[in-house]
Amino acid sequence: MKLIDTHAHLQFKAYDADRDEVAKRNSKELEAVINVGASLDTSKGAVTLAGRFDNFYAAVGIHPHHVDQWNNKTFSDLETLAKKKGVVAIGEIGLDAHQYNDYPSPDLSAQVKILHQQIEIAQKLNLPVIFHCRDAYDELYQYIKQRQGKISGVVHCFMGTWEQAEKFLDTGFYISFTGNLTYKNNGALREIAKSVLEDRILTETDAPYLPPEPYRGTRNEPVYVKMVASALAEIKNWSLQKTIDITAQNAKDLFKIL
Ligand SMILES: [Zn+2]
Ligand SMILES: [Zn+2]
């Protein structure tokens, strides 16, 4: 088995100049790549890529940053999109209480509202979710606990504490690690990775963001998931092939990729 990048954004602007070339290379090198939407437009872009390249799949969803895009039409458009071929998850959706430079102050109650409606789509279509969460793990967990019905999925690019990770794991969620697992000052994150059981761990790049250590400052791409796997292999004391097999099988199980 080869590696799976469970979270990339090859439909984003960063690849406008050479998207096909990057997509072809990555499709050949990896077992699968899931391109994840953040808005209606980038969700459509992810579905288009899934239709054009072997081993490419899509997740569709509205990121908490784009809460202002949400209206009844977005809701029905997203549901239509979620039924397209190659869609394996609803995401990235979630809660983000972090104050970013170019964004207005986060409005968590508005974020919860669109999260709620998107989880409804996931439950209706029996799809897992890809959670984006920053500075709001406790709030997200509270939300899941109160929610009726089954929700399965992954907390992507995990950056919380072990106590928070444990709660999501106990609820049946997977935890996914990006290139930031390789950063020198992320010892605490490596400790968390050490404790996550092998049947709950996933690898991703979040490309074009968060390139692993040797590529910091450059554009990330799905094949660099290899560096995330190497870091994990070292942390877990597994061989690289064992790490690849475990994480790829987990991704196949969660996203029902054959
Ligand atoms: Zn994210
Ligand atoms: Zn992302």
pLDDT at 169: 97
Residue 94 lies in domain: 4-255
Q: What is the pLDDT of residue 137?
A: 98
Instruction: Tell me the CA–centroid distance for residue 207 and ligand 1, in Å.
Output: 10
92 marked as binding residue: yes
For 104-117, what is the mean pLDDT?
Answer: 94
Question: Given this model, what pLDDT does residue 152 score?
Answer: 96
How many CA atoms lie within 13 Å of 107's alpha carbon, on the beta-carbon side?
9
> Is residue 100 scored above 90 in pLDDT?
no
Distance of alpha carbon 37 from alpha carbon 92, whole angstroms: 6
Domains held by the chain: number? 1
pLDDT at residue 6, rounded to an integer:
98
Which tokens belong to 229? 């796997």
CA distance 111 to 92: 12
Binned at pLDDT 50, 70 and 90, residue 104 comes out as confident
Residue 163 known to bind ligand: no
**Per-residue model confidence as pLDDT tens digits over 218-257:** 999 999 999 999 999 999 999 999 999 999 999 999 999 9
CATH of the domain at 49: 3.20.20.140
pLDDT value at 101 more than 90: no
Distance 239 CA to ligand 2 centre (A): 28
- CB distance 173 to 155 below 8 Å: yes
Ligand nearest to the Cα of 154, by number: 1
Q: Say how many Å lie between the CA of residue 93 and the centre of ligand 2.
A: 10
What is the token pair recorded at 144? Answer: 């899941």
**What does the pLDDT read at residue 148?**
83
Given a contact cutoff of 8 angstroms between Cβ atoms, the answer to whether 188 and 198 are in contact is no
* 65 is known to lie in a ligand binding site: no
The pLDDT of residue 38 is above 90: yes
**Per-residue pLDDT tens digits for 126-145:** 999 999 999 999 999 999 99
* Predicted TM-score of the model (pTM): 0.97
